[in-house]
Amino acid sequence: MRFLRVPLQYALALVALAAALFWLPASVRAAAATPTDDEVNAVASQLYCPVCENVPLDVCGTQACSQWRAIIRQKLQAGWSASQIHAFFAEQYGTRVLASPPFAGASVLFWLVPLALLAAGTVLLVRTLRKPATAATGAAGPVSEAHAARMERELDDWR
Amino acid sequence: MTGAEAPLLAATPAGLARRWQLLAWLLLLALLAVVGAKLVQVSRGSATSGAAPLFTLASFDGTQHTLQAYRGKIVVVNFWASWCAPCAAEAADLEQTWQAYRERGVVFLGVDYVDTEPEARAFIELWQQTYPNGPDRGTVIAQAFRIRGVPETYIIDQRGQLQAPIIGPTNRAQLSAVLDRLLAQP
């Protein structure tokens, strides 16, 4: 039976290898595949060209952008997520390369000010729309002298 | 007005309304101040005179270069990138000038701006640059000098004062003229 031992060992090793490949984590298998241009551009679209102003990285034709897209491809191939890649670029080149400013530090203003202005505008709009109805109600019908005098008195108090 | 009568006017406390108005104005002024400060910062242009901004550059070989450590020496700070064609045009002149002045107490520092490391290293090797070069992580140094692009070169005298910046590619004659003048000063 000794002659059977060596082939059996090989067979067991092959089975173990096949099993390992089958159960390999998805991220590792994904890392082995080359990312497509669409995948690279999806990440790049959330970054801005370091050289040209207001040009997203996915549509930028400069050499610098080309180098950056190559880095994105490498990182995706290594299994990095989009947010990890964005964080890497922010650390290397500053937060100004990000399409969306981070919700931290002074950048918080970019998020909060528009929301505050929107809220203030909504309140103003609602109040403005309500006013004519109140005025119309108040203007209906003749006003007696006593009523007018009382209104003047209350107006004085209010002022 | 009797106690039984409801007030004709809505019970709008004037003080409360005024407080809201005051708050709104304060918020608006604060917003304008922030926007104004940012506009001033953007419109200031490159650093041209006065004390040079202090910085630390970690070169590609891992050495830390702090500007303060070079006080008493003339420091030439060159901003460049591998993707920048004018930077390639001036690279040989920078190296030659460094070689000519290194024994006279002149320090050259290359600051690699928004670049990728493999390409930056290839650039240094191609142009055989031997003076310290390192990446500007987070563009901190570039922001301190308020550079507008690359290449830009800043010469800092022995007292840590900025000389007129060289915007665009430089050459050996231009650098030598400034360095000779500074070295001749007592």
- CATH number attached to the domain at A34-100: 1.10.8.640
> In which region does residue A152 sit, left (phi positive, over 0), alpha (psi from -120 to 50) or beta (all else)?
alpha
Burial class of residue B81 in the structure, from the number of CB atoms within 10 Å of its CB (0-12 exposed, 13-18 middle, 19+ buried): buried
- Kindly list the domain boundaries of chain A, sorted by start residue: 1-27, 34-100, 107-158
**CB within 8 Å: A64 and B115:** yes
Cα separation, A106 vs B20, in Å, equals 25
* Residue B110: both structure tokens together: 């290359």
Residues B101 and B174 in one domain: yes
Task: Give the DSSP H/E element, type plus range, for residue B152.
Answer: strand B152-156
pLDDT band at A22, cuts 50/70/90?
Answer: low
**CB within 8 Å: B83 and A67:** yes
Q: Residue B105: give its domain's CATH number.
A: 3.40.30.10
Q: What is the pLDDT of residue A148?
A: 86
Alpha-carbon gap: B85 to the closest alpha carbon of chain A (Å)? 10
Cα separation, B81 vs B60, in Å, equals 14
Q: Output the CA–CA distances (angstroms, integers) from residue B144 to A128, A142, B45, B77, B137, in the order listed.
A: 48, 72, 11, 12, 12
| Residue B156 included in any domain | yes
Q: Which stretches of chain B sit within 8 Å of chain A by CB?
A: 1, 7-9, 12, 14, 24, 27, 31, 34, 81-83, 114-116, 119, 135, 137-140, 143, 149
Cα separation, A88 vs B66, in Å, equals 25
| Residue B3 included in any domain | no
| Residue B69 included in any domain | yes
- A63 interfaces chain B, CB cutoff of 8 Å: yes
Residues B64 and B32 in one domain: no
**CB within 8 Å: A91 and B1:** no
- Contacts of B148 by beta carbon, 8 Å cutoff, 6+ apart: B45, B46, B167
- A130 interfaces chain B, CB cutoff of 8 Å: no
| Interface probe with A: pick from B83, B113, B117, most Cβ of A within 10 Å | B83
Cα separation, B58 vs B40, in Å, equals 30
Name which of B59, B167, B74 is nearest B121 in CA terms.
Answer: B59
- A92 interfaces chain B, CB cutoff of 8 Å: yes
Q: Which residues of A touch B119 (CB under 8 A)?
A: 67
Alpha-carbon gap: A62 to the closest alpha carbon of chain B (Å)? 8
Higher pLDDT, B122 or B4: B122
Residues B143 and B73 in one domain: yes
Q: What is the pLDDT of residue B2?
A: 47
| Residue B18 included in any domain | yes
pLDDT band at A23, cuts 50/70/90?
Answer: low
Domain with B27 in it: 14-43
**A156: closest chain B residue by CA:** B9
Residues B99, B102, B108, B110, CA torsion sign: positive
Name which of B153, B111, B110, B105 is nearest B130 in CA terms.
Answer: B110
Domains in chain B: how many in total? 2
> In which region does residue A72 sit, left (phi positive, over 0), alpha (psi from -120 to 50) or beta (all else)?
alpha
**pLDDT for A15 beyond 80:** no
pLDDT band at B10, cuts 50/70/90?
Answer: low
| Residue B5 included in any domain | no
- A156 interfaces chain B, CB cutoff of 8 Å: no
| Interface probe with B: pick from A52, A62, A63, A67, most Cβ of B within 10 Å | A67
Q: Output the CA–CA distances (angstroms, integers) from residue A8 to A2, A22, B118, in the order listed.
A: 10, 21, 48
What is the DSSP annotation of A91-131? HHH-GGGBSS--SSGGGHHHHHHHHHHHHHHHHHHHHHHHH
Interface predicted TM-score of the whole assembly (ipTM), two decimals: 0.72
Q: What is the pLDDT of residue B8?
A: 59
> B97: how many CB neighbours lie within 10 A of its CB?
23
Q: Output the CA–CA distances (angstroms, integers) from residue A111 to A43, A117, B23, B80, in the order listed.
A: 21, 11, 20, 34
Residues B121 and B167 in one domain: yes
Is the distance from CB of A68 to CB of A97 less than 8 angstroms? no
Percent of the residues in chain B that have a pLDDT greater than 90, as a whole number: 72
Residues B100 and B33 in one domain: no
Name which of B33, B71, B78 is nearest B54 in CA terms.
Answer: B71
